Amino acid sequence: MEENIGISFNNLLTEVLSKDLCNRCGGCVSFCSANGINALEMGEDGYPRYSDEEKCLEGGICYLICPQTKKLEDELKQKFDAKFPIGNWVDVFSARSTNEDVKKVATDGGVVTYLLSYLLDSKKIDGAIVSKRIGACGKGPIIATSKEELIGTAGSYFSEALHLDKLGTEYASCFPVIKVIQESAKKNIKKLALVGTPCQIKAIRKMQLMNIVPADMVIFTIGLFCLQCFTLEDLAKKEFAKIHNINMDDIVKVNIKDKLILTMKSGICVQVPLDIIEKIARPACIACDDFANDYADISVGGIGSDEGFTTVLIRNSLGREVYSDALYKKYIENKNCKCMNDKDESNYLIDIIKEFAIRKKARAEKRLNSLIK
């Protein structure tokens, strides 16, 4: 890493933060705190900042792991065989959880929650980093270690969650190494699954590429499809919300497919076109080119699937192994048949994922080009 000496968080400040490209994944802070450097922190505004610049070692790792920097991109693409436009994939399904409690609260088919339950029950992981809702529109990352905790975190809330920062804090609270081992052993958290947006997964993959902690604890990743992040508070300010008289306090469920679908207390579903949502997306999201979560083991989303089902893109042999076993043990079920997927439906699902991935890449290119001019 010698060539990175002299690179520091200051480079992120000029190349990422000052250009409004920071997606607040928390990766830089996570690395810094997990390794006991403690030069960085997440500020009250949700963006990373120096807490103590004097402590900065100028090793450049925070810069390299940032999902918005390009230095490790080729290596990552090569390692994951990430072909245009949706990365590597081996299979695709429309599926749902077999658990009625999960189906009631899940965003789509509850596949994420029940795959994680399977991983916990079969002791393949000790915990899962998921996002817990706080209040009407808030969220916060937690490490769920039981089915009950997982069910409490099902459902999607569309504002950013600092998963990686949480991971760093978990790990950093117990450095140096012996303390880390003692503490994580005490908590029995050695093997983690991570649910995250593409930017969150990409940061962890970059850490893994460089063999740095705490990324080694993440042994399985479930990546959410992601067109953009936004807040319902911002939507409330838009003309659309006023015209359609949408009271944010009446929203009981939020889902995003080829439209944003808001389910109101009355049971009415309001469909918000994506061009409205694009207007409230964070600037960083407009410059982000990964829709299908190219570096996850399994990617999931709602697009293409019927109501109550999750679209599941299996990316590698680990993803296939986990999915097949969860299917066999009846944690999840495929839509059309229990073992093989319907060919026409597979093609349809792949085509729609590609359509959104290409749309997002074109948007990112336009935004990044506008920054160069």
Stretch that binds ligand SF4, among 25-33, 70-78, 255-263, 316-324 (CB under 6 A): 25-33
Using the rule CB under 6 A, which residue among 8, 156, 197, 208 binds ligand SF4?
197
Contact flag: residue 111 with ligand FAD (CB under 6 A): yes
Contact flag: residue 113 with ligand FAD (CB under 6 A): yes
Specify the residue, 77 or 190, whose C-beta has the smaller distance to ligand SF4.
77
Cis amide linkage into residue 48, ω under 30° from 0: no
Contact criterion met (CB below 8 Å) for 221 and 193 = yes
* 347 CA to centre of own chain: 25
Residues 6+ apart with CB under 8 A from 73: none
Give me the 313-342 binding string for ligand FAD, x by CB under 6 A, dash otherwise: ------------------------------
Contact flag: residue 194 with ligand FAD (CB under 6 A): no
Reading the block at residue 296, the tokens are 């996850």
Contact flag: residue 106 with ligand FAD (CB under 6 A): yes
Contact flag: residue 165 with ligand FAD (CB under 6 A): no
Using the rule CB under 6 A, which residue among 22, 42, 112, 287 binds ligand FAD?
112
Shortest reach from residue 36's CB to ligand FAD, in Å:
26
Shortest reach from residue 21's CB to ligand SF4, in Å:
7
3-state helix/strand/coil string of the chain: CHHHCCCCHHHHHHHHHCCCCCCCCCHHHHHHHHCCCCCEEECCCCCEEECCHHHCCCCCHHHHHCCCCCCCHHHHHHHCCCCCCCCCCCEEEEEEECCHHHHHHCCCCCHHHHHHHHHHHCCCCCEEEEEEEECCCEEEEEEECCHHHHHHHCCCCCCCCCHHHHHHHHHHCCCCHHHHHHHHHHHCCCCEEEEECHHHHHHHHHHHHCCCCCHHHEEEEEEECCCCCCCHHHHHCCHHHHHCCCCHHHEEEEEECCCEEEEECCCCEEEECHHHHHHHCCHHHHCCCCCCCCCCCEEEECCCCCCCCEEEEECCHHHHHHHHHHHHCCCEEECCCCCCCCHHHHHHHHHHHHHHHHHHHHHHHHHHHHHHC
Residues 6+ apart with CB under 8 A from 177: none
Contact flag: residue 225 with ligand FAD (CB under 6 A): yes
Shortest reach from residue 311's CB to ligand SF4, in Å:
16
Contact flag: residue 334 with ligand SF4 (CB under 6 A): no
Shortest reach from residue 62's CB to ligand SF4, in Å:
7
Give me the 125-164 binding string for ligand SF4, x by CB under 6 A, dash otherwise: -----------------------------------x----
- The interface partner of residue 131, options being ligand SF4, ligand FAD, none and the CB cut-off 5 to 8 Å by kind, is ligand FAD
- The interface partner of residue 130, options being ligand SF4, ligand FAD, none and the CB cut-off 5 to 8 Å by kind, is ligand FAD
Using the rule CB under 6 A, which residue among 29, 195, 287, 349 binds ligand FAD?
195
Contact flag: residue 299 with ligand FAD (CB under 6 A): no
Residue nearest to ligand FAD (CB): 301
Contact flag: residue 22 with ligand SF4 (CB under 6 A): yes
The interface with ligand SF4 within residues 260-289 (CB under 6 A) comprises 284-285, 288
Stretch that binds ligand FAD, among 51-59, 172-180, 182-190, 252-260 (CB under 6 A): 252-260
Contact flag: residue 110 with ligand SF4 (CB under 6 A): no
Contact flag: residue 198 with ligand FAD (CB under 6 A): no
Q: In terms of Cα–Cα distance, which of 354, 230, 363 is closest to 301?
A: 354
Contact flag: residue 127 with ligand FAD (CB under 6 A): no
| Distance of alpha carbon 168 from alpha carbon 34, whole angstroms | 5
Shortest reach from residue 337's CB to ligand FAD, in Å:
20
| Distance of alpha carbon 23 from alpha carbon 219, whole angstroms | 23
Binding site for ligand FAD (CB under 6 A): 106-113, 130-131, 139, 153-158, 161, 163, 195-197, 224-227, 229, 255-257, 300-303, 310
